[in-house]
C-alpha cells in the first residue's frame, strides 16, 4: 500500500475521494465512463508495471495519448510510481515533440499503438503502448505499489512556449498543485455534485487543472472528444450541445474560444444549461466584454477572469465582476485580474526588483506555495531578481517573475497591462485599448516590430542604417465589415497623444494563435520598409501575404517643405512680370482693394511653390496610405495642379482680352475643367479602400 501521508500528494487526494465514493463516476468521455474505483484500479496496475520498469523520481515519464479515460489512468499511474509526468500531445508538431523529448529526457513514453512509430522516431527513450500490454496489465495487482512520495517531490513538467526561444520545461511539485487546488476549492466552491468540463489539450497546464479540480473533489470530469481550441474548423454547436447534454456545471475556456462559442449561442438566444461557473483565461480579457457576457448569462452564472502561469501551478489571480462596486469610466480599455487566489502572493516590482507605488506599472511577480521550481534544467540563481522571467529562490521563498506588467488600482484590484514588450509596453496597451473601441474592429493587437529592410544596391550595402522597432497595430474586422488602415490610423490619431500613433495598421482576417489559443506574436506579419521613400508592396514574411501592410517612410521634414515652397514662391514672383507684363499692376486700383489684390498675388505664388514641393516631396506621405500605385501617382499630380495652377491661370486671364473668346475658352478648359478633374481624383483617393482591405 502506498506509504504517503494522506492528501499530501496529488494522487493521494484522488485516492481519498476513491475511498469515500468508489462507485461515483469519475470521468465521462463520449460513451466511455469510469468510476473512481475503476480508474484507481487501472492506475494501480499500470503503476506496478512502471515500477518494475525502473521508473522513479529521478526522471519524468512522458504521457502521449489521445483523449479518453485511459490518459487519466496513465497520469495517475506515473504519480503513484513516484515519478513526475510530462504531458505531451501526440498529434503535435514534430519539431515540438522532438524538442520536448530531447530536453526533458524522460525515462519512457507511455502512449498507444497508433502513435508508437512517430514517438519512437522522435526520441530515443523506450515506448510503452498501453493497448498492446493491456492483457498483461490485467494480471497485476489493483492496489497501489509501495512507493513513498512526499509533497516536495516533482509531480509534473509543463512545457510552456515563451515569447522568444523554444519551449521550456517548468517543474511543478505535489505541494504546488495541492496549494492551487485549495485555492480553487475555496474560490469556486467545488463539490462532488459538480460536473467539470475538460476541453484543453493534454500538453497544456489547464488539462491538469481540470482533472485535479474534478478528481480531487469527488466530482465528475466531462472530457470532450475533440479539442475545440486546436480544431478551429469545429462546429461550436457541438460544444454547446455537450455542455447542455452532459449537464456541465463548471467550465474553463480561453478568450478566443469563448468568443467563438458566444458567436454561436447569442444570436440564437441559447443558454449554457446548468453551468454555474464559467472561468476564462489565457489572454487579455477586457472588462466591457466580460460585463456584456455576464449580463447575458444572468446572475445564476459566475463569470470569472483568471490569470496565471504554468510555473505557478496554473492560476494565480481572479476577478469576479460581481465584486465590482462601481464600473470604471472606460471598461473597454482595461482588463482586471482582481485579487490573488488564497495562498498566492502578488508583488509588483520595477526593473531593479523594488516594489512600485500603487497605480504605477510594475512586473507581476508571484510568490507562495504554488510556485514551482522553475526551469527543468536551469533553475535561477538564489535571490536573483533582475533579468528575464523565471523563478528565483531566496530567503523569502520562491518568486516567479512572469514577464507580464500590471498596476494596482485604488480599489485594490490588480489591472493587467500586458506582456512586457520593453519601453513601449504601456503605449502599446493604450493603442490596443483605443483601437478595439472602433466599431468595425472585432479584436486587435499591438506589437513592436523591426521592419524588414528593402533590397539595396550592392554599392550601398552596409551603409543603410537599420530601422529601430516601431509599434504596429493589427486589427480583425467585425463580421461583414471591411477595414481601411488609413481610416484606422486617423481614428487613433484623433484619440491618442502625439507620438503614440502606431507606425502602421495591418488588417488581418484573424490574429495568429498558438496551440493554446493565445496570440502568437512571432507569427504577426511584418510590414516591409520602403526603399528610397517609395512604398514596397511586399511583406516581411511569407505568411504575411501581399500587401498586408506598409511601413511608412519617414519622408522629408518640415524644413525641406518650407525651403522648397519658399524658393519656388520667390521665383514665381520674380518671373511674373517677365512672363506676363502688367499682369499684377494695381496702380489704378483704389485702396484698400489694391492691397487685397497684392495679397492674392502673393498667395498665388505661395500656392505655386507648395505645389512644386508636393511634386518633389509628397511621395512617402501619399504612399503610406496604401492606395494603388496608379491612383497614388495621379493624386500626386492632382494636388500639384490644385495648388500650382492658380499662378499661371490668373496671370493668363488678366492678360487676355475680354472679348478674345478663343483664348478665354481655351483657358477655361485647360484650367477650370482640369481643376475639377484633379478634385475628383483626390476625392477618389480619399474614398478608395486601401490595397489591403480584409473582409471577415
Q: List the one residue out of 324, 549, 555 whose CA is nearest residue 449.
A: 549
Give, in order, the Cα–Cα distances in Å from 522 to each of 77, 220, 318, 378, 416. 37, 38, 28, 24, 21
The lowest-confidence range among 268-277, 400-409, 457-466, 560-569 is 457-466
pLDDT value, residue 93:
85
Report which of 425, 376, 385 is spatially closest to residue 405, judged by C-alpha positions: 425
Neighbours of 644 (CB within 10 A): 22
In tens, the pLDDT along 212-245 reads 999 999 999 999 988 887 777 778 889 999 999 9
Residue pair 367/348 in contact by the 8 Å Cβ criterion:
no
Inter-CA distances, 44 with 57, 316, 455, 543, Å = 17, 32, 64, 48
Which of 65-79, 246-260, 450-464, 546-560 comes out lowest in average pLDDT? 450-464
pLDDT at 241: 92
Q: What is the pLDDT of residues 361-391, one digit of tens each?
A: 888 998 878 676 665 554 433 322 233 445 5
CA 438 to chain centre: 18
Give the pLDDT confidence of 176-195 residue by residue, as tens digits.
999 999 999 999 999 999 99
| pLDDT grade for 529, boundaries at 50, 70 and 90 | low
Instruction: Kindly tell me the sign of the dihedral angle through the C-alpha atoms of 16, 17, 19, 20.
Output: positive
pLDDT of residue 232: 73
As a whole number of angstroms, the distance between CA 229 and CA 520 comes to 14
Categorize the per-residue pLDDT at 468 as very low, low, confident or very high, splitting at 50, 70 and 90.
Answer: low
Going from the C-alpha of 369 to that of each of 84, 154, 345, the distances in angstroms are: 18, 14, 9
Residue recorded with cell 496554473? 314
- DSSP of 360-374: SEEEEEEESTT---E
What is the full DSSP assignment across 634-666? HHHHHHHHHHHTHHHHHHHHHTS-TT-HHHHHH
Higher pLDDT, 383 or 48: 48
| pLDDT bucket at 166, cuts 50 / 70 / 90 | low
Work out the pLDDT band at 589, boundaries 50, 70, 90.
confident
pLDDT band at 467, cuts 50/70/90? low
Distance CA 89, CA 60 (A): 16
Helix (H) or strand (E) holding 237: helix 236-245
Judge whether residue 263 has pLDDT over 50.
yes
670 DSSP 8-state letter: I
SS3 content of the chain, % helix, strand, coil (to 5): 40, 20, 40
Among 513, 444, 509, 514, smallest CA distance to 481 is for: 509
Q: What is the residue-averaged pLDDT of the chain?
A: 82
Residues with Cβ within 8 Å of residue 473, at least 6 apart in sequence: 431, 432, 435, 444, 445, 446, 488, 492, 502, 504, 505, 506
Q: How far from the centroid of its chain's Cα atoms is residue 248's Cα? A: 29
Asked whether residue 696 carries a pLDDT value surpassing 50, the answer given is no
Task: Give the whole-angstrom CA distance, residue 280 versus residue 597.
Answer: 70
| Highest-pLDDT range among 359-368, 453-462, 662-671 | 359-368
pLDDT at 536 over 50: no
* Region of residue 368 (phi > 0: left; psi between -120 and 50: alpha; otherwise: beta): left
Strand order in 85-87's β-sheet?
A: 127-129, 109-111, 61-63, 85-87, 154-160, 168-173, 374-375
pLDDT on residue 583: 81
Rounded to 5°, angle at Cα 424 from 335 and 499: 105
Predicted pLDDT of residue 382 = 30
Alpha-carbon distance of 370 to 177, in angstroms, equals 7
pLDDT at 34: 96
Rounded to 5 degrees, φ, ψ at 187 are -80, -40
Q: Cis ω on the peptide bond leading into residue 621 (within 30° of 0)?
A: no
- Express each pLDDT in 608-664 by its tens digit: 888 888 888 887 677 666 677 788 888 888 888 888 887 888 888 778 777 777 877
pLDDT band at 466 (very low <50, low <70, confident <90, very high): low
Q: Average the pLDDT over 191-210 and give the result.
A: 92
- Cell matching residue 215: 478528481
Residue 555 confidence (pLDDT):
59
Q: Write 229-236 long-range contacts (CB < 8 A, 24+).
A: 229/199, 229/200, 229/201, 229/254, 229/256, 229/257, 229/515, 229/516, 229/517, 230/201, 230/515, 232/513, 236/260, 236/261, 236/263, 236/264
> How does pLDDT run across 108-119, given as a tens digit for each residue?
999 999 998 888
Query: Closest Cα partner for 344 from 318, 376, 363, 319?
Result: 318
User: DSSP strand E in 143-299: where?
Assistant: 154-160, 168-173, 195-198, 220-223, 250-254, 277-281
Using the predicted structure, report yes or no on whether residue 541 has a pLDDT greater than 70: no
Check if the beta carbon of residue 165 is closer than 8 Å to that of residue 375: no
Which pLDDT score is estimated for 535? 39
What pLDDT is recorded for position 256?
A: 84
Tell me the C-alpha distance between 59 and 82, whole Å: 10
Q: What is the pLDDT of residues 107-148, one digit of tens each?
A: 999 999 999 888 888 878 899 999 999 899 998 998 999 998
CB 21 within 8 A of CB 36: yes
Q: Name the grid cell of 114.
A: 497508433
Provide the percentage of residues in the chain whose pLDDT is more than 90.
27
Q: Give helix then strand counts, H and E, for the chain.
A: 20, 24
Strand partners, 95: none
Res 456 pLDDT > 90? no
State how far the Cα of 264 lies from the Cα of 282, in Å rounded to an integer: 21
Is residue 213 within 8 A of residue 250, CB to CB? The reply is yes
Within a 10 A sphere around the Cβ of 546, how many other Cβ atoms?
9
- At 198 the pLDDT is 93
Percent of the chain at pLDDT above 70?
85
Which residues are CB-neighbours of 175 under 8 A, at least 6 positions away?
A: 8, 151, 152, 369
Amino acid at each position: 500500500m502506498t506509504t504517503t501521508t494522506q492528501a499530501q500528494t496529488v494522487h493521494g487526494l484522488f485516492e481519498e475521494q476513491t475511498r469515500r465514493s468508489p462507485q461515483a463516476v469519475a470521468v465521462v468521455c463520449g460513451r466511455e465512463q469510469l468510476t473512481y474505483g475503476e480508474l484507481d484500479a487501472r492506475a494501480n496496475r499500470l503503476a506496478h508495471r512502471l515500477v518494475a520498469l525502473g521508473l522513479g523520481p529521478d526522471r519524468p515519464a512522458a504521457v502521449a495519448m489521445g483523449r479518453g479515460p485511459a490518459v487519466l489512468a496513465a497520469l495517475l499511474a506515473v504519480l503513484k510510481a513516484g515519478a513526475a509526468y510530462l504531458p505531451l500531445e501526440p498529434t503535435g508538431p514534430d519539431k515540438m515533440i522532438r524538442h520536448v523529448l530531447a530536453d526533458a529526457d524522460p525515462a519512457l513514453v507511455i502512449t498507444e499503438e497508433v502513435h508508437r512509430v512517430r514517438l519512437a522516431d522522435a526520441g530515443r527513450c523506450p515506448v510503452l503502448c498501453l493497448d498492446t500490454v493491456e492483457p498483461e496489465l490485467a494480471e497485476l495487482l489493483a492496489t497501489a505499489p509501495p512507493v513513498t512520495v512526499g509533497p516536495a517531490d516533482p509531480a509534473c513538467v509543463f512545457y510552456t512556449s515563451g515569447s522568444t526561444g523554444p519551449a521550456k520545461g517548468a517543474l511543478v511539485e505535489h505541494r504546488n498543485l495541492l496549494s492551487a487546488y485549495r485555492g480553487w476549492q475555496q474560490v469556486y466552491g467545488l463539490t462532488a455534485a459538480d460536473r467539470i468540463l475538460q476541453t484543453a489539450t493534454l500538453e497544456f497546464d489547464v488539462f491538469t487543472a481540470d482533472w485535479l479540480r474534478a478528481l480531487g473533489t469527488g466530482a465528475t470530469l466531462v472530457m470532450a472528444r475533440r479539442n475545440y481550441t486546436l480544431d478551429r474548423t469545429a462546429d461550436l454547436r457541438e460544444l454547446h450541445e455537450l455542455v447542455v447534454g452532459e449537464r456541465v456545471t463548471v467550465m474553463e475556456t480561453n478568450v478566443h474560444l469563448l468568443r467563438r462559442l458566444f458567436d454561436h449561442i447569442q444570436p440564437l438566444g441559447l443558454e449554457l444549461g446548468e453551468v454555474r461557473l464559467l472561468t476564462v483565461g489565457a489572454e487579455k480579457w477586457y472588462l466591457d466584454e466580460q460585463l456584456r457576457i455576464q449580463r447575458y448569462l444572468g446572475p445564476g452564472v459566475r463569470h470569472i477572469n483568471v490569470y496565471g502561469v504554468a510555473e505557478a501551478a496554473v492560476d494565480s489571480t481572479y476577478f469576479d465582476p460581481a465584486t465590482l462596486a462601481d464600473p470604471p469610466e472606460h471598461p473597454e480599455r482595461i482588463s482586471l485580474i482582481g485579487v490573488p487566489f488564497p495562498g498566492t502572493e502578488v508583488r509588483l516590482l520595477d526593473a531593479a526588483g523594488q516594489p512600485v507605488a500603487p497605480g504605477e506599472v510594475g512586473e507581476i511577480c508571484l510568490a507562495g506555495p504554488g510556485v514551482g521550481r522553475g526551469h527543468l534544467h536551469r533553475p535561477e540563481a538564489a535571490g536573483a531578481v533582475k533579468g528575464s522571467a523565471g523563478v528565483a529562490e531566496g530567503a523569502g521563498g520562491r518568486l516567479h517573475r512572469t514577464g507580464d506588467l500590471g498596476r494596482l488600482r485604488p480599489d485594490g484590484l490588480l489591472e493587467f497591462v500586458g506582456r512586457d514588450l520593453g519601453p513601449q509596453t504601456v503605449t502599446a496597451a493604450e493603442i490596443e485599448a483605443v483601437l478595439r473601441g472602433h466599431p468595425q474592429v472585432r479584436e486587435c493587437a499591438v506589437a513592436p516590430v523591426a521592419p524588414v529592410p528593402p533590397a539595396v544596391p550592392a554599392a550601398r550595402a552596409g551603409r543603410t542604417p537599420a530601422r529601430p522597432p516601431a509599434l504596429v497595430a493589427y486589427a480583425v474586422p467585425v463580421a461583414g465589415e471591411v477595414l481601411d488602415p488609413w481610416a484606422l490610423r486617423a481614428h487613433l490619431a484623433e484619440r491618442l497623444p502625439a507620438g503614440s500613433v502606431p507606425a502602421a495598421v495591418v488588417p488581418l482576417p484573424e490574429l495568429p494563435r498558438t496551440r493554446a489559443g493565445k496570440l502568437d506574436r512571432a507569427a504577426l506579419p511584418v510590414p516591409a520598409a520602403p526603399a528610397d521613400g517609395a512604398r514596397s508592396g511586399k511583406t516581411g514574411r511569407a505568411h504575411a501575404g501581399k500587401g498586408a501592410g506598409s511601413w511608412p517612410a519617414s519622408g522629408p521634414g518640415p524644413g525641406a517643405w518650407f525651403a522648397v515652397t519658399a524658393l519656388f514662391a520667390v521665383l514665381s514672383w520674380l518671373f511674373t512680370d517677365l512672363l506676363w507684363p502688367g499682369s499684377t499692376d494695381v496702380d489704378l486700383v483704389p485702396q484698400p482693394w489694391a492691397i487685397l489684390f497684392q495679397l492674392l498675388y502673393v498667395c498665388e505664388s505661395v500656392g505655386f511653390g507648395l505645389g512644386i514641393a508636393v511634386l518633389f516631396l509628397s511621395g512617402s506621405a501619399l504612399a503610406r496610405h496604401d492606395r494603388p500605385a496608379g491612383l497614388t501617382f495621379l493624386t500626386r499630380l492632382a494636388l500639384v495642379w490644385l495648388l500650382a495652377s492658380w499662378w499661371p491661370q490668373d496671370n493668363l486671364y488678366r492678360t487676355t482680352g475680354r472679348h478674345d473668346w478663343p483664348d478665354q475658352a481655351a483657358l477655361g478648359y485647360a484650367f477650370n475643367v482640369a481643376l475639377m478633374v484633379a478634385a475628383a481624383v483626390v476625392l477618389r483617393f480619399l474614398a478608395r479602400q486601401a490595397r489591403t482591405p480584409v473582409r471577415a
